[in-house]
Amino acid sequence: MTKYGICKLCCKGKELQKSHIIPKFVFDWLKESSGTGFLRSNEIPNKRVQDGRKEPMLCGGCESLFNQWETPFATKIFHPLNMNAVSSFRYESWLLKFAVSVSWRVLTWYISNDVTEFSESAKTLIDKALQTWKEFLLDKRSHPDSFEQHIILLDMIESIENINDLPPNMNRFMIRGCHVNLAHSNGHPLFIYTKMGRITLLGFIGIKNLRDWVGTRIHVKQGIVGGDIVMPLQFLDYIKYQATAELRVHDRISERQKKVISKTYIKDINRVVMSETFQVLDHDVWLFGENAVFGKNGDSDEWH
């Protein structure tokens, strides 16, 4: 269903599409590889959903523009990575365009809801990032300047030696988590965070020490994704915080919905056992132990 309005990208009055904040192929994959075939949102965990959040944001022309970059990303990186086909990927100019398009739409949606916690100078910086990304997407500039895009490919954790205080859902979060967040420190915006399963995109806004990030920056024309990377230690703390926050969401699932999930599992147990959901849950049990993962009552926090 469409409605007339001003397109957020081209700023023209047109029929607006229901635009996905996170691309649709991400949720299609999460459903396909899940134990139930259903999803639950972090906002309303007691309700099943079939898709990710959509907003009337873009006109048909700008949607088509975004699709030009989504298609090669999905076919050349996202799906091969999720099928464990390869671990490093060559890319061309479409990757930076795709990453900017995601960071731009997520940040556009994010600030339309609430930016009251930010100062006027912080809001000015956010606006500058959005404007720079918009100009890059519309080919009005050749580079996103200091508002860089970074990509991180994730895999299951094989050992927790020398790593402290990981939450017991860490593998489930790393592999299955789908989240957005505007990270900030003392009101200063740092980056827009978009997690799409095994892939994390970071749109830098106010990161000052760019040299602390090695092997993650997306180049304008071409490059390679995957391999050794270096990130600030604080980013691991940020990831642990996000994973812990997801545990709190799972705690909000009602007993009634837990029974619904259990019935769905029993109905097609073969699907459950073969699913990625089960694989990462099993890995968390192996890594952290049954008590940490299931609790004293034996209830799993996994819900799709």
What residue ranges in the chain does DSSP mark as E strands? 3-6, 13-20, 39-40, 48-49, 54-59, 89-91, 149-153, 178-185, 188-196, 199-204, 223-225
Neighbours of 265 (CB within 10 A): 19
Q: Is there a domain that residue 88 lies in?
A: yes
Q: Would you state the pLDDT for residue 208? A: 85
The verdict on residue 125 lying in a domain is yes
Amino acid at 176: R
Contact 186, 254 (CB under 8 A): no
Look up the pTM and report it. Answer: 0.89
What is the 3-state composition of the chain as percent helix, strand, coil, each rounded to the nearest 5?
A: 45, 20, 35
Asked whether residue 104 is assigned to any structural domain, the reply reads yes
| pLDDT per residue of the chain (304 residues) written in tens, 0 to 9 | 568 899 999 999 999 999 999 999 999 999 888 877 777 766 666 666 677 888 999 999 999 999 999 999 999 999 999 988 678 899 999 999 999 999 999 999 988 876 567 888 898 999 999 999 999 999 999 999 999 999 999 988 877 776 668 889 999 999 998 889 999 888 889 999 999 999 999 999 999 888 899 999 999 999 999 888 999 989 989 999 999 988 887 777 777 766 766 777 777 788 878 888 888 889 889 888 888 888 755 455 444 5
Domain containing 138 equals: 20-294
Whole-number pLDDT of residue 33? 87
What's the pLDDT score for residue 2?
Answer: 61
Beta bridge partners of 18: 56
Tokens of 298: 């034996």
Residue 193: inside a domain: yes
Whether 106 maps to a domain, the answer reads: yes
The pLDDT, as a whole number, for residue 45 is: 62
Residue 13 lies inside a defined structural domain of this protein: no
64 Cβ contact partners less than 8 Å away, ≥ 6 residues apart: none
Evaluate whether residue 87 is within a structural domain: yes
Return the H-helix or E-strand segment holding 132.
helix 120-137
For 75, which DSSP code? I
DSSP 205-271: SS---GGG-BS-BPPSS-EEE-S--B--HHHHHHHHHHHHHHHHHHTT--HHHHHHHHHHHHHTHHH
Does the residue 76 lie in any domain? yes
pLDDT recorded at residue 277: 84
Total domain count, the chain:
1
Cα gap 49→38, rounded to integer Å? 7
CA–CA distance, 172 with 158 (Å, rounded to integer): 13
